[in-house]
Structure 1
Amino acid sequence: MKVQQPNFFLQTTKFFRGIEAHQCNHGNLVLYYFFAVLN
Structure 2
Amino acid sequence: MPSACADEVIAARNLTISAAVSRIRFLAVDDVLFQAA
Query: Normalising by the residue count of structure 2, what TM-score does the alignment of the two structures yield?
Result: 0.45
For the pair shown, the structure with the greater C-alpha radius of gyration is: 2
Taking structure 1 as the reference length, the TM-score comes to 0.43
